[in-house]
Amino acid sequence: MDSYHSLIIARVLHVVGVVLWIGGVAFVTTVLIPALRQLPSKQQRMDLFESLEGRFGTQAKLVTLITGLSGFYMLDAMDAWNRYQQEGFWWIHMMTLIWAIFTLVLFVLEPLVLHRWFHQQAQLNSQRSFLLLHRMHYVLLFISLVAVAGAIAGVRGWTFI
Ligand code: HEM
């Protein structure tokens, strides 16, 4: 396959990965966590959260890998690493930063510390822990959508600066 077509395939994989990934984050933030917060029993809330989190976690890890690999592949194939030195490409910095946050949380912090920490906090004060979880997801969703909007406009030459 020539490099022209492999670049198109990388972009297709990249954007399909982004849709699944950020769409999942949007669902968790605007539907799932609010529904969990309304459950009356704190035990029920935690049990349901942990069983759903397990399923979504695997999916999120897979799309994080696909999006990251295809993103770095495109930068390499276009010989565009120097975009990291240009402020007009702030959206490339932002995409990479979001990817790094998710990679760190999903592959390192969650299995090592966050899972146990959240479980403990939720036993102590369930309402407050789920409120914090909700806020963190809103922040991640917001910056992800800014990066998506910035990328789509940026690729077409409008960088907002
Ligand atoms: C390691 C992380 C990432 C790298 C290195 C990366 C790199 C890239 C590159 C090189 C492009 C093509 C730009 C062009 O054609 O000039 C692109 C497109 C895109 N990226 Fe990323 N990306 C990463 C993560 C993300 C994340 C986390 C998101 C979503 C929040 C995202 C959203 C997009 C979108 C929507 C496009 C398509 C823009 C368009 O063609 O209209 N990327 N990315």
Q: Which of 18, 25, 69 most suits a substitution to test ligand 1, by most atoms within 8 Å of the C-beta? A: 18
Confidence (pLDDT) at 57: 87
For residue 131, how far is its CA from the centre of ligand 1 (angstroms)? 31
Domain locations along the chain: 3-155
pLDDT at 56: 85
Tell me which residue has its CA closest to atom 41 in ligand 1: 152
Any ligand 1 atom below 6 A from CB of 14: yes
The structure tokens 């890998």 sit at 65
Is the distance from the beta carbon of residue 147 to the nearest atom of ligand 1 less than 6 Å? yes
- DSSP for 85-107, please give it: G-GGGHHHHHHHHHHHHHHIIII
- What was the pLDDT predicted at 55? 85
Global confidence as pTM = 0.94
What is d(CA 19, CA 26) in angstroms, rounded to the nearest whole number?
Answer: 10
Measured over the CA atoms of residue 29, residue 60, residue 142 and residue 114, the dihedral's sign is: positive
Dihedral of CA 59/94/10/138: which sign?
Answer: positive
Closest CA to 95 of 10, 2, 14: 14
Q: Is 98's C-beta closer than 6 angstroms to any atom of ligand 1?
A: yes
Protein residue whose Cα sits closest to atom 36 of ligand 1: 151
Q: How many CA atoms lie within 13 A of 67 on its CB side?
A: 24
Residue type, 159: T
> Residues 6 or more apart from 145 whose CB is under 8 A from it?
22
Q: Mutate which of 19, 29, 67 to test ligand 1's pocket (most atoms within 8 Å of Cβ)?
A: 67
Query: Tell me, what's the pLDDT at 63?
Result: 97
Q: How far is the CA of 7 from the centre of ligand 1 (A)?
A: 12
How would you write the pLDDT of the chain (161 residues) with one tens digit per residue? 899 999 999 999 999 999 999 999 999 999 999 999 999 999 999 999 989 888 888 999 999 999 999 999 999 999 999 999 999 999 999 999 999 999 999 999 999 999 999 999 999 999 999 999 999 999 999 999 999 999 999 999 999 88
Ligand 1 neighbour 60 (Cβ under 6 A): no
> Under DSSP, is residue 158 helix (H, G, I), strand (E, B) or coil?
coil
Residue 95 has phi, psi (to 5 degrees) of -60, -45
